[in-house]
Amino acid sequence: VAAELLVVGAGLIGTSLGMALGGRDVLLADPDAGALEVAVGRGAGRVWDRAQPFAHCVVATPPATVAGVVAELALAFPAATFSHVCSVQRSVQADLAERGIDLSRVCGSHPMAGKEQSGPGAASARLFAGRPWVLCPSPQTGPAALEATRRVAELCGAEAVELTAEEHDAAVALVSHLPQVAASAVGAVLSQSTEQGTRLAGPGLQDTTRIAASDPAMWIEVLRQNAQAVAPLVRALSTELGVAADALDRLAAQPDDTAALRAVDGLLRRGNAGRRLVPRKRGEHDRDFVLVAVAVPDRPGQLAGVLVSAAEAGVNVEDVRVEHLPGRPTGVIELLVHPSAQAEARRALAAAGWDVVGA
């Protein structure tokens, strides 16, 4: 009897997918026996014997290998449908077409969730929960393949969004591939500094370099396969930086050069405008919230205490940031709240004995 699902590639995404479907009959395949063992141990599914048929197969392998995997399995299992989860779509669609595969049986997709680490050890059952999962049917994709792919996304708790491969690749170039290049460039500049130089680093540097820790082997593939869409954006970034560098040179020589000040100010303001477009939660934006900051001693239990006081005052906390002040025994807990709740939050937290910053 046919299993519901085969997942080929028991890495970060394939294992997370199996774990998210916990309880269902998921078959797993991966040439890396170690990866397969970890994935099975984490409850992602059971090892496929390469004979049992399956209704749908998710190929969760590197983009360059997807068409080869689908070509082989589609021939051997003529009733099955296929999807993949690649971070790039156009190039994979082109590979599939070149192989002469029946494209009605195949649907591209891309869960917009991931991590800096790869491999099954980094997998998580909650990786896809509440995240968008882009479905990229080609013009040839049939309804059975599209619906099977949508079902996988929904069973993982993700929100299916349908885009063409072209729309998808342009969108991820902007929201994912450009930030990767930018973070890597900041990291590359830092790598020339001494440890002394980075010792003062705080959350700003953490935020701007987090994804610079990503796996180069994975990203070189992504950037190669989406180079056409990424190149103009990196060029635009480089233009912004070039203008800023020239203006800063002029300010170094002449601190009140008004044209240079305007150029730097313009960059910062365009930065504000772009940042406001970045969603925090679905449908909500940064500008909708304001900060309430509380200075706390660096002791266990402070964050929980502040959150309990806020909850007791009926204040809905949208997000929390914790900042440690380097070399000082205090930290700052920043609560993001709706503007209408700010005054009450400050009052209630101060009344509960917290050191509200700026109160």
Ligand X SMILES: NC(=O)c1ccc[n+]([C@@H]2O[C@H](COP(=O)([O-])OP(=O)(O)OC[C@H]3O[C@@H](n4cnc5c(N)ncnc54)[C@H](O)[C@@H]3O)[C@@H](O)[C@H]2O)c1
| Residue 30 engages ligand X in binding (rule: CB under 6 A) | yes
Distance CA 112, CA 354 (A): 39
The residue within the footprint of ligand X, chosen from 19, 67, 69, 335 (CB under 6 A), is 69
Binding mask 113-152 for ligand X (x = CB under 6 A): -xx--xx---------------------------------
CA-to-CA separations, 68 to 31, 50, 75, 129, in angstroms, rounded? 14, 16, 11, 30
* Binding residue (CB under 6 A) for ligand X from 35, 67, 172, 229: 35
**Does residue 163 bind ligand X (CB under 6 A)?**
no
Which of 11, 192, 198 is CA-nearest to residue 114? 11
Tell me whether residue 85 or residue 337 sits nearer to ligand X (CB atom). Answer: 85
When asked if residue 63 is in the footprint of ligand X (CB under 6 A), the reply is yes
Find residue 57's DSSP bridge partners. Answer: 6, 82
Supply angle C-alpha 95, 97, 99, rounded to 5: 75
Contact (CB, 8 A) for 178 and 234 = yes
Nearest distance from residue 267's CB to ligand X, in Å? 30
Q: How many residues bind ligand X (CB under 6 A)?
A: 26
The answer to the question of residue 65 lying near ligand X (CB under 6 A) is yes
Judged by CB under 6 A, which of 3, 5, 7, 9 binds ligand X? 9
Residue 31 as a binder of ligand X (CB under 6 A): the answer is: yes
**Residue 45 near residue 39 (C-beta atoms within 8 A):** yes
Under rule CB under 6 A, residue 223 binds ligand X: no
Q: Which stretch binds ligand X (CB under 6 A): 109-117, 147-155, 289-297, 313-321?
A: 109-117
- Taking CB under 6 A as the criterion, the residue among 3, 5, 7, 13 binding ligand X is 13
Any contact of residue 20 with ligand X (CB under 6 A)? Answer: no
**Parallel, antiparallel, or unpaired: how do β-strands 26-29 and 46-47 relate?**
parallel
Whichever of 158 and 356 has its CB closer to ligand X, that residue is 158
**Footprint of ligand X (CB under 6 A):** 8-14, 30-32, 35, 60-63, 65, 69, 85-87, 110-111, 114-115, 118-119
